[in-house]
Chains A and B, each alone.
Chain A
């Protein structure tokens, strides 16, 4: 019995939150990695683009709520998502046309691109804050829990409860569908393959008749979908605050680089690596050991490897270590 309790404890506090947070990071990381692999720059506006997409989704959610449209148990934001995605893509394409295109035709070095993306970052921050303000917004509606901790205890008679939030299930579910679709697209369709070719060797791809304009367009469309959905899922699960999104850029970058930048599958796994290492290293295992060890051996302290203050620092340290020992990432980057 104690063993089951211990497992439920880990499931509740480590596995499910890790999986959720990891999925949210993974979507962002694939976004970063796609831009890096195909457009060849580190996009510092990542976090803010995600907050722009989320903002659009929120605005449409509010609009639908005011019309009285809802999905019952599911959050209204799901109907608003396509509209959010549309505006996100529109925004990205506008930015690309007026800003990035010039540098692409000039064949500027990646550093210059990165600097330009910082300019885009500032502009996007301003746009988001001017439209929706810098405050904390919650836009989740519908049923909050699938299983409540108390119900679970009553149901199974265990000491530990397992709470399952609907946003967590939704996040994991949507991520799996989206990522499988994306990998199918990249590996099986002609456009996906030509994107791969373009990423591998631009000149060779151009020689074999691949239209760079189309590649860039498709990349931004995919990026817009990923950014909006990733941002909206994060916002549904926690809450929407522009500055948090801006800060999330760092773990997202960490995930993309750990997984090997330019490699979407690596980025996908990198998200989970970062999320789980953050949670595993800062979780206090006292209760876990209380269950599995006999009473005489119970630990005195919290059995916490690092205090939760260092949550961010953990993922960054992992990244720094990866950068030093395997700069191409765990899963060898640049092979899209």
Chain B
């Protein structure tokens, strides 16, 4: 108990902060911060597995997040029959072509000696295949995109409950990570960082511009929800009764019957959105707890010990007969899969998929700040990092507003510098992130909750 005192203290402070937001701003804001904190915590756990356990740098986080989001679309949207009839055949043809291409390349790789000729023929094969695929797909894609472009214009998905997409998102992201890992994991750390960042840009470019699959920048809106809709809640009896019970002290003060009804309606409307958010919080919390249990178990298992050994001294681990390459690939896939789950959760919560909003350059680094600040190699630290950094990212503007007003209290409102500062309040969040990261790196390089290895 004593040993975990700092963990408990850190988490209690975080909870108090969120409660303060609830009390002073509104419960709605507090809950949406809390939900996004949970999602960032999942992402951070994914990055932490790669960085903290194995020392692998993965700057491709946004790519995997976007793939998770794509999974949410593909799983939950109803299939667009018309589009399938129009161009489904061509797309399936292409899929076959890709599979054939991969099989042929595998065949060549297996049966021929490594030589310049082999490399060039594989390159030629890939280029030829890309051209053939483009030619076959073109008419199909045009037909699909022509089907009712204002509302559909894409193939749609499977029409399953969106919860399944959390698993499928993990599979998608894991699949991509397998390919990326196979080709890029041999690179040195800083090259790997840049390569993964660029690959995620490529993935997002594809998701953004292949309209037949994702509607591209036209966005997919109105996805199914695992939680009830606000409008439905507002007309359900048990929910109105629940709100009445909760707010009875306030409602009892109002004597006038019609006024009381109006106030109740107001409470019900407010309550319904809070209730929906609480549903999401519950679902996300379950995911976080399951992941936490699994990652903790993994960390203290022989496998986790091996990972740390590889991280701390690759050559020694290799000499002890551990397959470093394979383990690196495995952990790369696992971490990315977790990030994929987070991506699907994010889209589930928003109820819409907007490929344009995945900005690798912006959010990748934010996630990394979370990992470093929280404490790499410590799962509780990773989750805490997700909470702290996201909270500051959102609340930086109000905090810096308060600080500016506090320090310039004596200066009149019309002062040019003060006005300029107040105008640029949104950008203080970058300053906060940067300074936070620099101070942590300098004075507490292991993060708020450092890695703890208990040898039993």
Contacts and interface: CB of A to CB of B under 8 A. Distances in A.
Interface of A: 41-42, 44, 99, 102, 109-112, 114-116, 118-127, 129-130, 133-134, 246-247, 249-250, 253-254, 257, 307, 309-310, 312-313, 316-317, 319-320, 323-325, 327
B148 interface: no
B138 to A, nearest CB: 9
B434 A121 contact: yes
Interface in B344-370: 361, 365, 368-369
**Which of B199, B368, B424, B438 neighbours the largest number of chain A CB atoms within 10 Å of its CB?**
B438
A323 B438 contact: no
A253 B424 contact: no
Nearest to B421: A130
Contact of B435 (A41, A118, A123, A246): A123
B193 interface: yes
Contacts of A122: 365, 369, 430-431, 433-435, 437
Contacts of A313: 201-202, 205-206
Interface of A is mostly: helix
Contacts of B197: 250
Contacts of B198: 250, 253-254, 316, 319-320
B190 A42 contact: yes
A310 B205 contact: yes
Given A253-B194, A317-B202, A126 B187 contact: no
Interface string B169-203: 00000000000000110011111011101110110
Contact of A126 (B205, B369, B434): B434
A244 to B, nearest CB: 11
Given A119-B437, A316-B201, A126 B191 contact: no
Contact of A115 (B427, B431, B432, B437): B437
B211 to A, nearest CB: 10
Contacts of B430: 122-123, 125-126, 129
Contacts of A327: 187-188, 191
Given A99-B438, A111-B57, A126 B201 contact: no
Contacts of B424: 129-130, 133
B418 interface: no
**Which of B194, B201, B208, B429 neighbours the largest number of chain A CB atoms within 10 Å of its CB?**
B194
Contacts of B199: 316, 320
Contacts of B119: 325
Interface residues of B, number: 43
Nearest to B131: A305
Contacts of B369: 118, 122
A136 B253 CA distance: 55
Interface of B: 57, 119, 183-184, 187-191, 193-195, 197-199, 201-202, 205-206, 208-209, 361, 365, 368-369, 372, 421, 423-424, 427-435, 437-438, 441-442, 445
A323 B201 contact: no
B183 A324 contact: yes
Contacts of B427: 125-126, 129-130, 134
Given A130-B421, A253-B194, 13 more contacts: A119-B437, A121-B365, A121-B434, A125-B430, A250-B198, A253-B198, A313-B205, A316-B201, A316-B202, A319-B194, A320-B198, A323-B195, A327-B191
A307 B209 contact: yes
Contacts of B57: 111
A172 to B, nearest CB: 27
Given A126-B431, A316-B199, A119 B191 contact: no
B431 A130 contact: yes
A99 B445 CA distance: 14
27 contacts: A99-B438, A110-B189, A111-B189, A111-B190, A114-B189, A115-B368, A115-B372, A115-B437, A115-B441, A118-B365, A119-B435, A122-B369, A122-B430, A122-B433, A130-B427, A133-B424, A247-B361, A250-B198, A253-B194, A257-B194, A309-B209, A310-B209, A312-B201, A313-B202, A319-B194, A323-B187, A324-B184
A164 to B, nearest CB: 32
A324 B184 CA distance: 7
Nearest to A242: B427
Nearest to A323: B195
B59 to A, nearest CB: 9
Contacts of A325: 119
A117 to B, nearest CB: 10
Nearest to B186: A327
Nearest to B189: A111
A319 B428 contact: no
A119 B194 contact: no
Contacts of A247: 361
A42 B193 contact: yes
**Which of B208, B423, B427 neighbours the largest number of chain A CB atoms within 10 Å of its CB?**
B427
Contacts of A121: 365, 434
A323 to B, nearest CB: 5
Closest 6 CB pairs of A and B: A122-B434, A123-B434, A126-B431, A126-B430, A119-B437, A129-B427
A114 B190 contact: yes
Contacts of A309: 205, 208-209
Contacts of B421: 130
Contacts of A42: 190, 193-194
A319 B196 CA distance: 11
Contacts of A124: 434
Contact of A323 (B184, B423, B437): B184
A109 B314 CA distance: 15
Contact of B361 (A115, A129, A130, A246): A246
A118 B437 contact: yes
Nearest to B217: A309
A312 B209 CA distance: 12
Contacts of B205: 309-310, 312-313
A109 B365 CA distance: 19
B202 A118 contact: no
B193 A114 contact: yes
A297 B368 CA distance: 55
Nearest to B365: A118
A327 B201 CA distance: 20
A49 to B, nearest CB: 13
A130 B231 CA distance: 42
B191 A323 contact: yes
Nearest to A317: B202
Given A116-B438, A250-B361, A312-B205, A123 B195 contact: no
A307 B437 CA distance: 39
A247 B362 CA distance: 9
Contacts of B433: 119, 122
A216 B440 CA distance: 25
A323 B184 CA distance: 8
A312 B206 CA distance: 11
